[in-house]
Amino acid sequence: MNFLGIKKMFSFADIKIINFFIYIRKMNNLAIIGYGKMGKAIEKLACNYGFEVCSIIDTALNNKITPQHLNNADVAVEFTQPDSAANNIMTLFDAGINVVSGTTGWNAEYQKVADYCKKLGSGFFYASNFSVGMNIVFQLNKQLATMLDKVEGYKVSISETHHTQKLDKPSGTAVTLANDFLNHSKKYSKWKLEPTNIKDGFLPIFSKREGNVTGLHIVNAKSEYDLITLQHEAFNRNGFTTGVLMACNFILNKKGIYNMNNLLGLE
């Protein structure tokens, strides 16, 4: 007898119970490393994406990344601080857990983490921004850089605005925009934060910290005659949270290093 035949033998109430246990069986265990604004947002939506939060680790909770505190996690989300991100991620690899990280400001240690991931055969998903909309803007930014290389008269700048509690400056997203632009343009060789003099070949980034702004990023290309603007504004954290939890499902049982382009099929 198949499963549908078995379900016909039970009452409606029994079927609801069966469906409940099927739902529970499909849930994967999620550890949240860093219980700030993003950690709390991820906790709220985790069950909608098939995850049960089995562990929350944060310095304020006086616990650490150990097998005992990880509580049989299938995957871990890491949103902490730039000075602790690399060590957190590698400790999770040591515990045999794949990691999704959105902490920014630790670029200098990224290659070390990537090499360690490959050495242990772990799975790692990293993005400076998990918003689907922002990742579309990343692609448009690359196209803009390529096209502006073919014309004269445009000066490019990047600006970003975030809430006052954001520590890194410029934002990881602004750095991604700048680096992508440099990689697709022969006119610019380096980005610089808030330069007093904007020299040829330097791509300026301007940063603001004000109020409760979730995230505003703007790429401007200005000439004597017109202004081209790419802009992305996040209204709340749900767009980021959705991307994070999609990434968690994506990285389950995988080996290697992945990003939003892999998840969204953008490249």
Write out the chain's pLDDT in tens, 267 residues: 444 454 455 455 554 554 544 444 579 999 999 999 999 999 999 999 999 999 999 999 999 999 999 999 999 999 999 999 999 999 999 999 999 999 998 999 999 999 999 999 999 999 999 999 999 999 999 999 999 999 999 999 999 999 998 878 999 999 999 999 999 999 999 999 988 887 888 999 999 999 999 999 999 999 999 999 999 999 999 999 999 999 999 999 999 999 999 999 986
Catalytic positions, written as ranges: 162, 166
**What is the domain-level CATH number for residue 186?**
3.30.360.10
Look up residue 214 and give its two tokens: 């979730």
Spacing of C-alpha 65 from chain mean position: 20
Longest dimension (CA), the chain: 78
- The domain in which residue 61 lies consists of 3-126+238-264
**What is the domain-level CATH number for residue 83?**
3.40.50.720
Domain co-membership, 69 together with 44: yes
Domain co-membership, 9 together with 87: yes
Domain co-membership, 151 together with 257: no
Domain co-membership, 107 together with 141: no
CA torsion 27→31→37→41, rounded to 10°? 0
How many domains are contained in the chain? Answer: 2
Q: What is the pTM of this model?
A: 0.79
DSSP string, the chain: --HHHHHHTS-HHHHHHHHHHHHHHH-EEEEEE--SHHHHHHHHHGGGGTEEEEEEE-GGGT--S-HHHHTS-SEEEE---HHHHHHHHHHHHHTT-EEEE---S-GGGHHHHHHHHHHHT-EEEE-S---HHHHHHHHHHHHHHHHHTTSSS-EEEEEEEE-TT--SSS-HHHHHHHHHHHHT-SS--EEEES-SS--TTEEEEEEEE-TT--EEEEEEEE-SS-EEEEEEEESSSHHHHHHHHHHHHHHTT--EEE-HHHHHT--
Domain co-membership, 62 together with 18: yes
Domain co-membership, 19 together with 64: yes
Domain co-membership, 97 together with 157: no
Domain co-membership, 218 together with 140: yes
Domain co-membership, 46 together with 137: no
| Exposure string over 64-91, b if 16+ CB within 10 A, otherwise e | ebeeebbeebbbbbbbbebebbbebbbb
Write down the pLDDT at residue 22.
43
DSSP string, 149-205: TTSSS-EEEEEEEE-TT--SSS-HHHHHHHHHHHHT-SS--EEEES-SS--TTEEEE
Domain co-membership, 23 together with 122: yes
Domain co-membership, 58 together with 138: no
Domain co-membership, 62 together with 49: yes
Cα–Cα distance measured from residue 188 to residue 252, given in angstroms and rounded to the nearest whole number: 39
